[in-house]
Chains A and B, each alone.
Chain A
């Protein structure tokens, strides 16, 4: 099972509601997977800062004074916003890689959820509603986002095994299905220099797309590659800084429904996830075709 959702806004007036719309969509699919849940929200670009989302099992210890210590170490202003077990660091865009390495040196137990100019990622063990409440996702604004509720099959039920997986700046992916050639693909990507945090199959799919895009492919071309290079069952929903994509494997046994209006493009594992969206009764609703790439960019 697993339930996945995605929402890409075309109408700027809906941006303040992105968090609440996406939360509601994900909560409606709770019975597709009770193990863990996660959401990635793409906020409005500020232009002069970038973000790192972190998670800690001991947030009071790990996040205390981290901003001051990090600012001193990298020589740039740093702010930190703590939300339960997660925290978002903001600093200058050119300092992100240095900040990431420094955080891991200063606090080895911290896990990096993702980084980029706009993305924030919150994921934990538990039901979607618990996760959404814990990180106050409903109040978040943004341009697009993706979410996942997990019924674990391929790796452990842990925070790091939760989706979305992020393997590149502002890139993340949620997956319903299971891959059968992930060990081989992971080995090839490691040889290319990609780094992995887990044994999870979905992280390999995310890293595959990051690698393809790093080689100059656009989101659509990278998604096209999954059809020949990844073996197994998948419906992927992917976010990039300004893009949103969907692809299903040729067998397409993992369910998928999409809806489009002048205001948004929405994805749900089931129609239930879409029923409360504005104007859904007049939306174009369709089942994405197997082995067909769909993507939108702002």
Chain B
């Protein structure tokens, strides 16, 4: 008899729980994900027919995998704390906003402010991200395979934004201590953002991050590092007349 029980338990742990948003409301999906407790056997979830729904899988705090089959609207995976979410489509504004830990992979494109205010975890956009990617990021790592739009990493505080393609205008405006690595062209740099030397520790770190993000065939040495010139950190008395 024990053998049968073990096999049942294994079946449960391997089968993913399928949640069809064409049949059930989004609130039930998110409630079921919030009801997960440590050690739950329901470690794999699959979400069907998202069709641009807002707030899919926000606030998940258990280490489960969630495969979303289609494109999502605003704030997918917001506040994620430990789950591994894959969007098999594109994401609307604010994907992974304020992520704490875990990972989100978007197979398509992401709209505005992807990863905004994120504190940790890894956000991978396999297509392009539009404006304000990584705005006010606070520790998250963001890897974009394509291009990013204007005003990305505005007031970025910490973490790493890696762009395999090009960046739009005003990259890193008023940046604090986040690191930006861009492989292609930068439209323009924002206030107080400058190109910096790629020292060996940066090359090593970036190669590790590219590996973690599943990027192949791209070398860390192909990127330029950007960061804060730190001239806005303290008030400059010579600027007093401007106020």
Closest-by-CB residue of A relative to B51 is: A275
Q: Are A287 and B109 in contact (CB under 8 A)?
A: yes
Residue of A nearest to B111 (CB): A287
| B51 lies within 8 A of A287 (CB) | no
Q: Are B109 and A271 in contact (CB under 8 A)?
A: no
Q: Given A255-B92, A270-B92: A275 and B52 within 8 A (CB)?
A: yes
Q: Are A270 and B52 in contact (CB under 8 A)?
A: yes
A12 at the interface (CB under 8 A from B): no
- Tell me if B139 counts as interface (CB < 8 A to partner A): no
Assign chain B's interface to a size class.
Answer: 10 to 19
Q: What are the residues of chain A within 8 A of B93 when measuring CB–CB?
A: 255
By secondary structure, the B interface counts as loop
Partner of A271, one of B90, B112, B130: B90
Task: Classify the secondary structure of A's interface with B.
Answer: loop
Q: Which of B53, B90, B130, B149 touches A272 (beta carbons < 8 Å)?
A: B53
Interface string of B82-105 (1 = CB under 8 A from A): 000000001011000000000000
Q: Which residues of A contact B52 (CB under 8 A)?
A: 270-275
Verify B131–A272 contact, CB threshold 8 A: no
Q: Contact between B150 and A290 (Cβ–Cβ < 8 Å)?
A: yes
Whether the Cβ atoms of B73 and A272 lie closer than 8 Å is yes
Q: Told that A271-B73, A271-B90 touch, could you supply 4 new A-B pairs with CB distance under 8 A?
A: A270-B92, A272-B51, A285-B71, A290-B150
- CB-contact partner of A252 in B53, B74, B92, B131, under 8 A: B131
Which of B52, B73, B92 is packed against the most chain A CB atoms within 10 Å? B52
Interface-centre pick from A257, A271, A272 (highest chain B CB count, 10 A): A271
B57 → A minimal CB distance (Å)? 17
A290 to B168, CA, bound (A): 11
Instruction: Give the chain B neighbours of A68 by CB distance below 8 A.
Output: none
**Does A286 interact with chain B (Cβ within 8 Å)?**
yes
Residues of chain B with a CB closer than 8 A to A290's CB: 131, 149-150
Known: A252-B131, A272-B51, A275-B52. A286 touches B109 (CB 8 A): yes
Question: Nearest CB to that of A256 among chain B residues?
Answer: B111
In Å, the complex CA distance between A19 and B223 comes to 50
